[in-house]
Structure 1
Amino acid sequence: MSTSPPEHAAQRLNDRFDRLPLRERKKLKTRRAIQEHALRLFTEQGYDATTVEQIAAAAEISPSTFFRYFPTKEDVVLTDEYDPIMADVFRRQPAELSPLEAFRAVMADLLPEVVGDDAATLYARMRLIEGVPALRARMLESMSAGTHLVLRDIIAERTGRTADDPEVQAFCWAVLGVLQAALYHWLDGDAAYADLPALIDRNLEFLGRGCPL
Structure 2
Amino acid sequence: MIQAHAVRLFTERGYDATTVTDVAEAAGVSPMTVYRHFPTKEDLVLVDQHGRLVAERIVASSGAQPLVRRIGGALIDSAATLTRGARGDDVETGERFLLARLRLMISTPALRARHLDNHYALQRAIVDALGDDATDPDTAFHAQVAASACLAAMHTALVRWAEDDGRTELPDVIAKALAAAFGDDIVEPTGGVGTSESAGRTERR
In structure 1, the gaps of 5 or more residues are 1-32
| Change beyond 3 A, Cα 1:159–1:166 | closer
Alpha-carbon shift at residue 85 of structure 1 (Å): 2.3
What is the aligned length? 176
Q: TM-score, normalised by structure 1?
A: 0.71
Does residue 192 of structure 1 match 2:167?
yes
Alignment correspondent of 1:63: 31
Equivalent residue for 1:125, pick from 73, 95, 101: 101
Structure 2 spans left out of the alignment, 5+ residues: 86-93, 184-205
Inter-partner Cα distance in structure 2 for 1:152 and 1:198: 24
Q: Distance in 2 between matches of 1:92 and 1:55?
A: 38
1:139-168 deviation per Cα after TM superposition (whole angstroms, max 9, x unaligned): 212322x32221121235433345994333
Question: Out of 84, 89, 92, which is 1:116 matched to?
Answer: 84
Q: Identity, % of aligned pairs?
A: 33
Aligned twin of 1:182 = 157
**Aligned equivalent of 1:202, options 154, 158, 176:** 176
5 Å-filtered alignment, 1:4-153, equals 33-117=1-85, 118-144=94-120, 146-153=121-128
* 2:158 partner amino acid: L
RMSD: 2.6
Aligned-partner residue type, residue 102 of structure 1: R
Please tell me whether the aligned partners of residues 75 and 142 of structure 1 are also in contact (alpha carbons under 8 angstroms): no
The TM-score normalised by the length of structure 2 is: 0.73
For 1:206 and 1:114, locate their aligned partners in 2 and report how far apart those are by CA, in whole Å: 23
Q: Secondary structure at the match of 2:95?
A: helix
Amino acid at match of 1:175: C
Q: Verify the 8 A CA contact 2:133 2:139 in the aligned structure 1.
A: no
TM-superposition CA deviations, 1:103-151 (whole Å, max 9, x none) = 233234333333333111111011112222221122212322x322211
Q: Deviations over 1:5-36 (max 9, x none)?
A: xxxxxxxxxxxxxxxxxxxxxxxxxxxx2211
User: 1:171, CA displacement in angstroms?
Assistant: 2.1
Alignment deviations for residues 158-184 of structure 1 (CA, whole Å, 9 cap, x no partner): 333459943332222211111001111
Alpha-carbon separation, structure 2, partners of 1:114 and 1:48:
26
